[in-house]
């Protein structure tokens, strides 16, 4: 077998990115293509109208309605060697839709992949929200017992459990990345920072002097990681030996907890606007965590991965992209 060319570690490998038209998928697919992979993206929408990367094939499919048999047939026909699950639902959906997209879909996917005669690797993209409350002042390790407090976190934890059970039984070559709050160019408007970037852009266009921004309370501290660093981590897992990563949870984040108010103020600074920031009263009915900080030592040890972009440069890239 010929060794991959330098700079193209995925040369000749067939990669399927589920959720290819979403935030992460739009970054992952061209990165795999640049690494030499033969990439197929799958999403419910018509992806070819949105996809930025030539040389990446795209397929429209409702993944949540496909079922294990159809998924297995599709992956066999695609001759997939690696499947990255970047599909899911976070904002603007019911709890039932969130459960279907984030938990049941993964169950169907695991069943489908376990039935294939040639089993691809599955990289499941999980979330810091699976852990629930962190310990103020410290980083959460992969051995922490999860206690999610949001429907999204609970659904993603069910998906993680399904992948790990199959991997540890030998039915699947699967690994879960538990990812911090992702930001950077293209951050979705449903998120705090993505929505704020859009509002700032509209205020700039309106030209209103001394505009005011009213936001929910900004008292929490969060681990923010740049989307491009997440892509680097996924590529590192894709290239790692199965014996090193299969059946593992690996945290991917900055390893730091940043006050949310500080992140918001930096994004406003990048906008160049003199904005008056007002915080609403806290919603006592809302469940959330005040502190999120991931311990990322395992990613460094297993993958040689560390984040290369700081939050300020990430926020600058977000502001510039909007």
Q: Where are the beta strands (DSSP E) in the chain?
A: 14-18, 38-43, 57-60, 82-85, 121-127, 173-179, 181-183, 212-215, 221-222, 224-226, 249-252, 258-259, 276-279
The chain-wide mean pLDDT, for the chain, equals: 91
Question: Tens of pLDDT along 43-87?
Answer: 987 554 444 466 688 888 989 989 999 999 999 999 999 999 999
Maximum separation of any 2 CA atoms in the chain, in Å = 64
Lowest-pLDDT choice from 44-53, 232-241, 277-286: 44-53
Query: Domain extents for the chain?
Result: 14-184+221-257+290-321
Is the pLDDT at 287 greater than 70? The verdict is no
Which residue in the block uniquely carries the two structure tokens 């429209």? 60
Pairing of strands 82-85, 121-127: parallel
On whether the pTM is more than 0.85, the answer is yes
Give the pLDDT score at 42. 94
Q: Distance (Å, rounded) from C-alpha 135 to C-alpha 140? A: 7
User: Distance of CA 134 to CAs 125, 137, 193, Å?
Assistant: 20, 9, 21
Between residues 283 and 86, the one the model is more confident about: 86
152 in active site: yes
Annotated catalytic residue, options 23, 32, 131, 152: 152
Lowest-pLDDT choice from 145-154, 163-172, 258-267, 277-286: 277-286
Give the pLDDT score at 3. 42
Q: Distance (Å, rounded) from C-alpha 245 to C-alpha 304? A: 13
Question: Tens of pLDDT along 141-177?
Answer: 999 999 999 999 999 999 999 999 999 999 999 999 9
Choices 3.40.605.10, 3.90.650.10, 3.30.160.150, 3.40.50.720: CATH for 14-184+221-257+290-321: 3.40.50.720
Neighbours of 86 (CB within 10 A): 25
């Amino acid at each position: 077998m010929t060794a991959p060319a330098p700079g193209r570690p995925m040369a000749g490998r067939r990669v399927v990115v589920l959720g290819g038209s979403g935030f992460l998928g739009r970054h992952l697919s061209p990165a795999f293509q640049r690494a030499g992979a033969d990439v197929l993206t799958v999403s419910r929408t018509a992806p070819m109208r949105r996809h930025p990367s030539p040389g990446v094939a795209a397929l429209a499919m409702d993944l949540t309605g496909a079922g294990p048999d159809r998924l297995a047939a599709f992956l066999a026909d695609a001759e997939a060697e690696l499947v990255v699950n970047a599909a899911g639902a976070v904002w603007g959906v019911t709890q039932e839709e969130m459960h279907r997209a984030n938990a049941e879909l993964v169950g169907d996917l695991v069943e489908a992949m376990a039935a294939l005669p040639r089993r691809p690797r599955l990289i499941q993209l999980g979330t810091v929200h699976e852990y629930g409350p962190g310990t103020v002042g410290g980083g959460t390790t992969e051995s922490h017992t999860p206690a999610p407090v949001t429907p999204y976190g609970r659904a993603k934890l069910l998906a993680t459990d399904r992948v790990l059970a199959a991997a540890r039984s030998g039915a699947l070559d699967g690994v879960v990345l538990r990812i911090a709050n992702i930001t950077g160019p293209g951050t979705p408007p449903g998120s705090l920072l993505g929505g704020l970037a859009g509002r700032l852009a509209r205020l700039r266009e309106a030209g209103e002097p001394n505009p005011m921004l009213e936001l929910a309370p900004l008292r929490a501290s969060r681990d923010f990681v740049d989307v491009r660093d997440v892509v680097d981590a996924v590529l590192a897992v894709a290239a790692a030996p199965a014996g090193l990563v299969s059946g593992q949870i690996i945290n991917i984040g900055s390893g730091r907890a940043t006050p949310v108010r500080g992140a918001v103020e930096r994004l406003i600074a990048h906008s160049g606007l003199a904005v008056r920031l007002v915080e609403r009263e806290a919603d006592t009915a809302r469940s959330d965590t005040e502190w999120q900080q991931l311990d990322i030592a395992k990613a460094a040890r297993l993958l040689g991965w560390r984040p290369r972009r700081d939050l300020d440069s990430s926020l600058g890239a977000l502001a510039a992209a909007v």
